[in-house]
Amino acid sequence: MAIRTVTDAIRYVGVDDNTLALFENRYPVQPMGVSYNSYVILDEKIAVMDSVDARAAEEWLSNVAQVLEGRSPDYLVVTHMEPDHSGSLMRIAQEYPEMKIVGNAKTFTLIKQFFGTGALSEDRMLEVGEGSILSLGSHRLQFLLAPMVHWPEVMTAYEETEKILFSADAFGRFGSLERTARAPWVPQARRYYYNIIGKYGAQVQALLKKTAALEIQTICPLHGPVLTEGLEECLRLYDLWSQWKPEEPESILIAHASIHGNTAHAAKTLKGKLEKKGVQVNICDLTVTDLSYAIASAFYCGKLVLASSTYDGGLFPPMKEFLEHLQTKGFRNRRVGLIENGSWAPAAARLMRTKLEEMKDIHLYETVVSLRSALNQASEVQMDALVAELCAE
């Protein structure tokens, strides 16, 4: 990845990873890739803002050295210790033995845990806390702690002179900078937020309240592009997402998990009926759609219809996994309809209802569509009743 100029004094020295198949060994990031972002602030004193994943260490260290032009950095600021950002920490610490490591108390706990209690001498650790200031000369970094966005040691750094927020994983996005330079920020930022950070909406709200008092002209996240335009919209969406509110309250997602195709057919029939009423409908086949995309779609819409086959007296596993993941991400504030299928012992509706009742502020529509394999006259009547409920609000 080429070095980029953020401002006259700040350089992007991060690295694209176009070979990684699964982010966090779970979320597909091909063919878009992912970026590991790092920045250098050049002033009387020099600060490197975060390191990168170990798999990108060589390219990153080369980028840093090129920007330094023979100088040595005074500080490595560690805003987040997850291995995709701390994997090269000890490499740069060994490369520049006079450089101090800047972090909060929990940062240093994790450094000792990850690399050993003797990995860094005490005199190299510069501890900062809420509101601490690190002066580099004409640039000043103000630290804002952001615990559980999405790890306990996370903090952000606000550069007061150029009004830049170094936001750790907040405002990040899947996609390498090379491959997604012209891609819109929102779709992959949404998927990133709900799958990586989504559980911690209350903590994101706390961070947003702190940053509301700041004049922010640029956001430098640890994944994805540097944000300089449309910041109001980015902040608005983060506020919306972190309150678990839908972007499109009247839109409906139909998520189906079908064994032999009959439940899928019912879901598509429902979609057609709703669209004839002028409703915006998205449909998701949970047996083929990656879970991370399904989760993002569920949070995007204000209404959800779940259509699932019964499987050995239980929920068909793709639907079970979908609901469990929704629950872990704090799914709430939604209206939900149910379609079940079971030729001889339908149980899916009861099991989906039980799981949904464990979530917050979920309103279940009264009508349940119950199939006995394929749609029949009785289930068509139930479906029309469900359509009427979905369109009534």
| Rounded distance between C-alpha atoms, residue 251 and residue 82, angstroms | 35
Classify each residue of 202-239 as buried b or exposed e, where b means 16 or more C-beta atoms within 10 Å of its C-beta: ebbebbbeebeeeebebbbbbbbbbbeeeeeebbebbb
| Rounded distance between C-alpha atoms, residue 303 and residue 307, angstroms | 13
Burial category of 22 from C-beta neighbours within 10 Å (exposed 0-12, middle 13-18, buried 19 and up): exposed
Domain boundaries of the chain, sorted by first residue: 4-241, 249-391
Instruction: Tokens for 80, please give them.
Output: 């987040």
Phi and psi at 57, nearest 5°, equal: -60, -45
List the chain residues with pLDDT less than 50.
none
**Is CATH 3.40.50.720 the classification given to domain 4-241?**
no
pLDDT (0 to 100) of residue 343: 86
pLDDT (0 to 100) of residue 1: 61
| Rounded distance between C-alpha atoms, residue 27 and residue 197, angstroms | 13
DSSP β-bridge partners for residue 303: 252, 335
CATH fold, domain 249-391, is: Rossmann fold (3.40.50)
| pLDDT tens by residue, 281-318 | 999 999 999 999 999 999 999 999 999 999 999 999 99
Instruction: Tokens for 211, please give them.
Output: 């940053």
Tell me 193's DSSP state.
I
| Rounded distance between C-alpha atoms, residue 171 and residue 211, angstroms | 13
| Rounded distance between C-alpha atoms, residue 350 and residue 312, angstroms | 14
pTM of the complete model: 0.95
Given the structure tokens 């501890």, which residue do they identify?
Answer: 127
Amino acid at 242: S
Cβ–Cβ < 8 Å for 194, 186: no
For residue 169, give the 3-state DSSP assignment.
coil
Those residues whose C-beta lies under 8 Å from the C-beta of residue 250, and which sit 6 or more positions away, are 279, 280, 302, 303, 393
